[in-house]
Amino acid sequence: MGSTWLVRADSGGRLAPEFKSRAIVAIGWIEAGNTLDLVTREDFSQRMAEAYPEDSKPK
């Protein structure tokens, strides 16, 4: 079975009309900076580990 994701459009859904009209969703990973330069999954994983070290530790 595939994964299911819940996407929220900010507090109270205030961004929902814009998301719907532009057919987009947004992810707020501010600390990771611009991710357009990341090519591989490993590049992405490394950037996230650097930006969010506490969330990257094994549980």
Q: What is the mean pLDDT of each run of 10 residues along the chain (59 residues)?
A: 83 91 89 94 94 81
pLDDT at 9: 87
In a domain, 3, yes or no: no
Please classify residue 28 by burial: count the beta carbons closer than 10 Å to its beta carbon, then call 0-12 exposed, 13-18 middle and 19+ buried: exposed
In a domain, 37, yes or no: yes
Amino acid at the residue 29: W
C-alpha torsion 21→25→31→36, nearest 10: -90
DSSP conformational letter for 37: T
In a domain, 15, yes or no: yes
Task: Give the chain's end-to-end CA distance (angstroms, integer).
Answer: 24
In a domain, 35, yes or no: yes
Q: What's the number of domains the chain is made of?
A: 1
pTM: 0.57
In a domain, 36, yes or no: yes
pLDDT at 56: 74
Query: CB–CB of 45/53 below 8 Å?
Result: no
What 3-state class would DSSP assign to 58? Answer: coil
pLDDT at 57: 72
In a domain, 22, yes or no: yes
